[in-house]
Structure 1
């Protein structure tokens, strides 16, 4: 190739490069992002600009709230189901026990009064628990004999028939009625029959018998 041709080609190549450098490049315009409504924490807001904070935006779903179905594994079995499943593990239902009999009422209490010996004898079953001196009715006012029973008890009885040395109604502490107007009670013990028909005993014996004997217990008075 001749020298003029070589210069011509070099000129055309340089001209093309100069044209590319001065031609502005086409600018690509990004479309505007559409605004989408999101609900985060109960408030309407746009999509957070910084997702690095861990926010998760979920679209709102309208309608009735969805209730969680109960877990069948957590259902409480009925008593019948539990008995069928584990009959040996269910506690047995016991009937209400009858109250125990009063031990005191089971004892056979009895009182024997001997006018000839001027003694009393208190027994529970076949055992003599206590005995002591008495003063029964004096001549003209004898104490009746026979089989009787305790009719009533009065810890602070006052006689309605007889008076004491001071002219006051006679006091008859720890009275135990066994027949009509005849009582066993605390009183003076001279060592012989001296009452108007009642049976006198000492203070400690009277209190003991009053506490032990019950209405209905047998009383035997013998000569």
Structure 2
């Protein structure tokens, strides 16, 4: 994720790169972490399709005319847009990390950077992108902070509590249609939103160096 950070690291987290507890606190973070949306398992998984509305920043996971999951997402900015068109999911990976960008670290020091710009002698781990579902080379759905305005480099960020639901509902081969608007916008798009993640403090870099973010979500439930 590429967003401003509040690097207020607890001493224990600095000492332990594998720390499993997020360091961001506050009522806004608590409200964000409590956000959830209902999901329904399909009768026939082969009939599932995904529709993305970039103008509304909504994803509709549909089985026929029945919505299985309707969720807010973050899409690409005007300069780094989410690609439009018809695709299929062809790669799913729960424990995905980015290759080109992430966190350079040395002892208690850590900073976000591109892999080619890490300081000499520092180690590097890619940005965690949990519940990755790729639909075009280098573009996919994945867990990330969801904001109320487009903010990504083209990927589609899902809320931490909704990403595992999406991951279960889709399969390799699931069709994905991405357009400026979708017919479902009018009927299903008016949903409650989580707090805007933009003003919220990020989890610590030390937390992202461990594996905790890959399971940073509620236990999924389905109707």
Residue 112 (str. 1) matches residue 51 (str. 2): yes
Who is 2:163 aligned against? 206
Post-superposition Cα deviations, 1:143-194, rounded to whole Å, max 9, x if no partner, equal 1000000111000100112336633521100000011110000101121111
Cα gap change, 1:189 to 1:113, in 2 (>3 Å) = same
Separation in 2, partners of 1:205, 1:194: 18
Post-superposition Cα deviations, 1:18-39, rounded to whole Å, max 9, x if no partner, equal xxxxxxxxxxxxxxxxxxxxxx
Residue 170 (str. 1) matches residue 127 (str. 2): yes
Who is 1:183 aligned against? 140
Separation in 2, partners of 1:104, 1:133: 24
Who is 2:183 aligned against? none
CA RMSD, 1 decimal: 1.8
Cα gap change, 1:163 to 1:106, in 2 (>3 Å) = closer
Structure 1: unaligned runs, 5 residues or longer: 1-102
Separation in 2, partners of 1:171, 1:216: 24
Separation in 2, partners of 1:121, 1:209: 10
Residue 132 (str. 1) matches residue 78 (str. 2): no
Write out the 4+ residue segments of structure 1 that deviate beyond 2 Å after TM superposition. 103-107, 161-168
Contact persistence 2:46–2:174 (CA under 8 A): no
Contact persistence 1:107–1:125 (CA under 8 A): no
Q: TM-score, normalised by structure 1?
A: 0.51
Q: 2:99 aligned to 146, 160, 164, which one? A: 160
Task: With a CA cutoff of 8 Å and minimum separation of 6, indicate the structure with the bigger relative contact order.
Answer: 2
- Alpha-carbon shift at residue 104 of structure 1 (Å): 6.0
What SS does the corresponding residue of 2:95 show, helix, strand or coil? Answer: strand
Structure 2: unaligned runs, 5 residues or longer: 1-41, 104-110, 114-124, 181-223
Who is 2:85 aligned against? 146
Contact persistence 2:143–2:160 (CA under 8 A): yes
Q: TM-score, normalised by structure 2?
A: 0.51
Q: 1:123 aligned to 54, 62, 72, which one? A: 62
Separation in 2, partners of 1:152, 1:169: 18
Q: 1:219 aligned to 176, 199, 205, which one? A: 176
Separation in 1, partners of 2:46, 2:65: 10
Contact persistence 1:155–1:175 (CA under 8 A): yes
